[in-house]
Structure 1
Amino acid sequence: MSAARVEVHETAIDGLLIVDLPRPGDNRGWFKENWQRAKATAAGLPDFVPVQNNISFNGTRGTTRGIHAEPWAKYVSVATGSIFGAWVDLRRGPGFGTVVTHEITPSTAVFVPRGVGNAFQTLEDATAYTYLVTDHWSADAQSAYSFVNLADPELAIEWPIDLAHAELSEKDRNHPLLADVEPLPPAPILVIGAGGQLGSALTRELTERNLPFTAHTRSELDLARPCGWPEGIRSGEGLRRYRAVINAAAHTAVDAAETPEGRTEAWAANATGVSALTAACQRAGIPLAHVSTDYVFDGQLPLGEYYKPDAAPAPVSVYGQSKAAGECAVTTWSKHYLVRTSWVIGTGHNFVATMAKLADNGVDPSVVSDQHGRLTSAADLAAGLIHLIDNEAEFGTYHLTGSGEPTTWAEIARLTFEELGHDPQRVTPVSTEEYTAGKTGIAPRPSNSCLDISALEATGFTPRDSAAVVREALERRAQD
């Protein structure tokens, strides 16, 4: 072991990490940095946010505690003495039931992720066992605990001191065998803006994947009015039990945002509310996935080129300006997924549904042909957001739109007509200037909304192309 640096070692349990800690000493004793954030994270420990420090003093050798899996992560070490530590993965998944054991001295620490059962047996008298945890203990939290029997033959833990002669509680002696333990699901995800087309897609996706979540509609949590949020969310204390927050709420009335009243609402939801949500997530130490838009760009990039995630925003509409301000707030918290998208098609009213209705009613529309981009399925956007969280992708900015070649609104309209068996030539392409002639209160639109999605694809997720999104929207319309 190096005498100068922290060393982190992986184990057979995913996320359970053994940590070697430098412990210099002399004739007076020794000293160690038990938790030093910069050194620990540089060595490979998660950048967790502990909120409570607990110490368990054990008077005699053979004191045995556990096996308890709790709804928070913990960082375990000993101040004096030594222990035999045992950990069992009680999380849902292929690792369920995996066992790791290790002796812990003052030169060693262990990072125990949420859902991994933790137990120890003291090897010396007067052993002080200490641990940092990522949430405050409460009586309500005990409903999310899981336990397994220390003596379960299936676990085959070789306790240094026979459990028949060890000091342990009756409760620990009577915990269930592994065969009777229900695997723990992952921590829930909090969805804000559940009533919109993206929020609805998120709740469907999470339900289909059997992933725990809590969802708030605008009537339950209005992003634009933080003073009315539940205290636990506003302070961040109630967020600690979540795996992540997904913000699917926004003021998206692009033209209305150009009015005095709409400008106020857009900035309240897209900037002020997002800033308050980011601060709450930072206080809780949990990731925030936030959805933004191509409107943060001016759309003047030459056709054939794509906006990269690190491109500088240059919004030209009030909506785009408010969303760009929200982005600035989100990026102040290191644990963020800032996901820009464009041309989203979900359930209910959308462009494809409108074109389909016009086609069926014999209306021959004029549609803009000089705005370029790619359709995005709300279902794909939802799946991509969950993918980033579930796979613990690197934090940062991503673009998530449909894949394939860029298109125009007029081409999407013609494809819709064609898919329904109508003559696509009934759609007349027009310029934005022609389409908006004589109309007032129209916000400027980007002429190039093409976003580079290669960073997202590098994480293992590729959305469908525009044609597939059109077909999905028409199939859904036929079922409604």
Structure 2
Amino acid sequence: MSSSEPAVRGTAIPGLLLVDLPVHGDDRGWFKENWQRTKAVAAGVPDFGPVQNNISFNGGRGTTRGIHAEPWDKYVSVATGRVFGAWVDLRGGDTFGTVVTCEIDPATAVFVPRGVGNAFQTLDDATAYTYLVNDHWSGDALDEYSFLNLADETVGIDWPVPLEQAQLSEKDRRHPRLSEVVPLPPAPVLVVGRTGQLGRALVELLERRGLPHRAVDRAELDLADPDGWPEGLRTGEHLRRYRAVLNAAAHTAVDDAETPDGRTAAWAANATGVAALAGACAAAGVPLLHVSTDYVFDGTLPHDEAYPVDAPLAPLSVYGQSKAAGEAAVTALPRHWLVRTSWVIGRGHNFVSVMAGLASRGISPRVVDDQVGRLTFVEDLAAGLLHLVDHRAPWGTYHLTGAGEPLSWAAVARHVFERVGADPERVVPVSTAEYVDGRTGVAPRPANSVLDLSALRRTGFEPRDHMELLGTHLHADGATGRPRD
């Protein structure tokens, strides 16, 4: 590592990072790059999107401030002088109450994640303490703070200047002890598309994990009508306190999108509305997670190959074209996760429930056997999306489907028949051309919908085998062949 690059060290508090900064000096003084985004991110500091820079000037040694856990991330350092820094994890979890201390001089910075209590004591006169935050301060935010008494015996911080000799505010003297502190919860996520199958799965998972969230339906946020959004949403002001926006809404009626009215509706929701949402997230400095589709590809890859995340887009249908346009808007946003998926199976009416119903009624369906892919069960899709957010996965594009051997739709249908106790040979395989012969208004589908999952796996998320999950999905309904609710 060259002398011009910062170095990052982890600590006992998850997410709290110590940053060694190069300082260049001569007989005139010194110079440092306190925050250089490209270098900091390359070294391991989160790309947290600071929007405000504050400076606290402290006249004398022993000035002590804190311990405050705030509803935003901070990046702290000093411009002049030295401080003794102390941090206490005030987030719920196993590390609640964990303490880290270190001395900060101009060659040191500290990344302080949301919910970690921050305090410092000056070691020199005329110390200028500086910090970046990724939200604008307001008095309303004080309701979201958590505080800890500087003298708390449980954490036992060994202040260089004893607190009885230090200069601190009366408010800081009155903060509660650790036993009285209410842990600061993580920032909420906003789920757009609450009533869709993915939106419902996300809300159920968030509720099961006890994670703060808000979910909105089309009546509250209609992607197809950005002009109807509240002004604070259009400008991003209402999004600032969210740690991420998860867009699970879309116009997904693939064949309907081929009609004149359907084309307008698909482009309004999947392109124009997504661009407006991306713009609002950019203005708020909030990351956007957007779900896209295999339909942005033409499916001409050989069936034994999978589409990588950087494959050229070549959509065949209006639906695919509108989703590709939405992707273009999302990828222009620096802080985004674009997640493509395919063959999504949730609750209610879907391919699996239809095949199970046909099997139970003794019907022998004709099913396409020249389109291949993997099923994606909505519960796994929701878990993978939250994994990207919770683990601060690198910004960029990911593919998320079930794992395992790709199959044709006909092969999947045979598995459904077999697992509900019907004869799989009753499934009649046909080509796509045979299936659509004589039909009108059928959108073209990719022949190959297999997506490469390696980028997702590098984040630590391992998708489950789609055929194993098929059995679980059917078993949840008693394996009777009745469509699920």
Task: Give the Cα–Cα distance (whole angstroms) in 2 for the partners of residues 21 and 455 of structure 1.
Answer: 31
What is the distance in 2 between the residues matched to 1:263 and 1:205? 33
CA distance in structure 1 between the partners assigned to 2:186 and 2:476 by the alignment: 31
Alpha carbons of 1:217 and 1:57: their partners in 2 closer, same or farther (altered >3 Å)? same
Offset from partner CA, 1:274-327 (integer Å, 9 cap, x none): 222222223333322211111111112112222121211111111111111111
Counterpart secondary structure, 1:86: strand
C-alpha change, 1:470 and 1:165, in structure 2 (3 Å) is same
Equivalence for 1:266: 266
Name 1:89's counterpart in structure 2: 89
Separation in structure 1 between the aligned mates of residue 70 and residue 474 of structure 2, nearest angstrom: 46
Aligned-pair distance for 1:163?
1.0
In structure 2, relative to structure 1, the CA distance for the partners of 1:140 and 1:472 (3 Å cut) is farther
Preserved CA contact (<8 Å) 1:278 1:329: yes
Greater Cα shift, 266-275 or 24-33: 24-33
SS at the partner of 2:355? helix
| Structure 1 spans left out of the alignment, 5+ residues | none
State the AA in 2 paired with 1:405: E
Partner of 1:207: 207
Q: RMSD in angstroms over aligned alpha carbons?
A: 2.2
Q: For residue 12 of structure 1, what is the amino acid of its counterpart?
A: A
Q: Secondary structure at the match of 1:165?
A: coil
After superposition, the C-alpha distances for 1:315-342 in whole angstroms (9 at most, x for unaligned) are 1111111111111222222322221111
SS of the residue 2:119 aligns to: strand
- CA distance in structure 2 between the partners assigned to 1:204 and 1:468 by the alignment: 22
Distance 1:193 1:360, change over 3 A: same
In structure 2, distance between residues paired with 1:157 and 1:180: 18
Q: For the residues of structure 1 that align with 2:22 and 2:310, how far apart are their CA atoms?
A: 39
In 2 relative to 1, CA 392–473 (structure 1 residues): closer, same or farther, beyond 3 Å? same
Cross-structure match for 2:136: 136
Distance 1:321 1:83, change over 3 A: same
- How far off is 1:459 after superposition? 2.7
The match for 1:413 is 413
Measured after TM superposition, the shift of residue 193 of structure 1 is 1.1
Query: How far apart, in 2, do the equivalents of 1:465 and 1:106 lie?
Result: 51
**Residue 57 and residue 454 in structure 1: after superposition, are their counterparts in 2 closer, same or farther (change >3 A)?**
closer
Question: Are 1:353 and 1:473, in contact at CA under 8 Å, matched by a contact in 2?
Answer: no
CA separation in 1, counterparts of 2:453 and 2:30?
A: 52
Aligned to 1:439: 439
Task: Map 1:382-461 onto structure 2 (within 5 A).
Answer: 382-461=382-461
Correspondence for 2:198 = 198
Supply the AA of the counterpart residue of 2:119: A
Aligned to 1:255: 255
Q: Percent identity?
A: 69
| CA distance in 2: counterparts of 1:441 and 1:84, whole angstroms | 70
The 1:85–1:272 alpha-carbon spacing in structure 2 relative to 1, beyond 3 Å, is: same
**1:72: Cα distance to partner?**
0.5
Matched residue pairs, number? 480
Q: Deviations over 1:92-122 (max 9, x none)?
A: 2332222121222334332211111011122
Q: Give the structure 2 partner of residue 278 of structure 1.
A: 278
Give the whole-Å Cα distance in 1 for the aligned partners of 2:94 and 2:252: 41
- The corresponding residue for 1:75 is 75
**1:462 CA displacement:** 2.6
1:26 and 1:465 mapped to 2: Cα distance?
61
Q: Scaled by the length of structure 1, what TM-score is found? A: 0.94
Q: Which residue of 2 aligns with 1:33?
A: 33
Once the two structures are TM-superposed, the CA of residue 230 in structure 1 deviates from its matched residue by: 3.1
Task: Give 2:357's aligned residue.
Answer: 357
TM-fit CA distance, 1:255? 0.6
Compare 137-146 and 278-287 and name the one that shifted more.
278-287
Contact 1:345 1:473 (C-alpha < 8 Å) held by counterparts = no
Q: Which runs of 5+ in 2 are unaligned?
A: 479-483
TM-score by length of 2: 0.93
What SS is found at the alignment partner of 2:164? helix
What is the one-letter code of the residue matched to 1:425? E
Contact 1:2/1:22 (8 A) holds in 2: no
Is the partner of 2:120 in helix, strand or coil? strand
2:187 maps to 1:154? no
Distance change >3 Å, CA 201–CA 433, structure 1 → 2? same
Amino acid at match of 1:457: R
